[in-house]
């Protein structure tokens, strides 16, 4: 096997870092968490992160918006056009990093 030089965009490092930091933050909320696993599958080009903690507490408002998403931006509600724009930008950024993007709403 020949070694290749691979360059990654700083944004890819930041996305991976954010996922790991969120998983580690979960340990602060849930002291019973004792497992954090990262799997990098070079054949399928996927990275999975798993922890056995409770996860982020989520409360759904009547309009179907998750409270942590709004709180992150200091907001109480979103206009439909803002939600659409944010979703499109998230897809644009994710699409820059690979051939496929899976988004669940």
Q: Which has more confidence, 43 or 14? A: 43
What is the arithmetic mean of pLDDT over 28-46? 85
Q: Please give the Cα distance from 17 to 24 (Å, whole number).
A: 10
Per-residue DSSP letter, 70: H
Q: Residue ranges of the domains in the chain?
A: 7-53, 58-99
Q: Which has more confidence, 40 or 84? A: 40
How sure is the predictor about 9, in pLDDT bands with cuts at 50, 70 and 90? confident
Question: Percent of the chain at pLDDT above 70?
Answer: 51
Mapped onto helix, strand or coil, the DSSP state of residue 86 is: helix
pTM over 0.75: no
How sure is the predictor about 105, in pLDDT bands with cuts at 50, 70 and 90? very low
Contacts 24+ apart (CB under 8 A), 18-26: 19/49, 20/49, 22/56, 23/49, 23/51, 23/53, 26/51, 26/53, 26/54, 26/55, 26/56
pLDDT of residue 77: 66
pLDDT of residue 88: 64
Q: What are the DSSP calls for 14-69, one per residue? A: HHHHHHHHHHHHHHHH-TT---EEEEEETTTTEEEEEE-S------B-TTS-BHHH
């Amino acid at each position: 096997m020949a070694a290749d030089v691979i360059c990654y965009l700083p944004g890819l490092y930041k996305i991976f870092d954010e996922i790991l930091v969120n998983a580690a933050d979960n340990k602060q909320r849930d002291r019973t968490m004792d497992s954090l696993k990262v799997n990098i599958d070079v054949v399928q080009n996927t990275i999975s992160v798993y922890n056995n903690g409770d996860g982020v507490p989520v409360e759904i408002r009547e309009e179907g918006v998750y409270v942590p998403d709004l709180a992150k931006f200091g907001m109480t509600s979103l206009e439909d056009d803002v939600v659409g724009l944010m979703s499109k930008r998230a897809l644009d950024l994710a699409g820059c990093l690979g051939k496929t993007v899976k988004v669940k709403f």
